[in-house]
Amino acid sequence: MGVGICVLSFALLFTQVHDDGRNDLMRALDSGKPEEAMRIIDGLDASIKSAVQQSLNTPGVWRELGSIFPLLAAANAKLRVLSAVDRMGWTPLMLAAAHGYVDVVKRLIDADVPRDARNTEGLTATAIAEKAGHSEIVALLAGPRPK
């Protein structure tokens, strides 16, 4: 049970929303720290992997809801962080697109975050990337959804 609590605590750490309506991922992206953003995404992925490993090592995992709770919680935390919306309607994908962070945009697309979300100005991540002149990101956002 100790590992489950640790996994859950780690995943939930990144779901905290600050006074500005942004989580740590959004703050990293908007402050010019794409490497920190990638570490946060990697940490969320690691918490899910750890929860899966814990579930696989738990006897009767599919018969006992309690043994899969850390996995469900970690997956939910990742979804909440990657799909967060701040007070101005901006998402992590919009922030990454605005700043031209191609690798972060790729990771968010791979995580299947919503691409059609609009901020309070009515702009999508694609429109934001176009406006900022990031043609590679525009092409990525127009591409197929991950399978």
Place of tokens 């959004």: 26
Q: What is the CATH number of domain 2-142?
A: 1.25.40.20
Per-residue confidence at 146, pLDDT binned at 50, 70, 90?
A: low
For the chain, give every domain's residue range. Answer: 2-142
Give the residue carrying structure tokens 């092409």: 139
The more confidently predicted of residues 62 and 118 is 118
Paired tokens of 43? 């940490």
- The pLDDT assigned to 3 comes to 47
pLDDT in tens, 68-112: 777 788 888 899 999 999 999 999 999 999 999 999 999 999 999
Which of 82, 99, 83, 97 minimizes the C-alpha distance to 140?
A: 97
For the whole model, what pTM was predicted?
0.84
- What is the structure's pLDDT at 11? 57
With beta carbons less than 8 A apart as the criterion, state whether 43 and 14 touch: yes
pLDDT in tens, 32-53: 999 999 999 999 998 888 887 7
CB-CB neighbours of 58 under 10 Å = 18
CA-CA distance, 77 to 97, in Å (whole number)? Answer: 22
Residues 59, 80: Cα–Cα separation, whole Å? 29
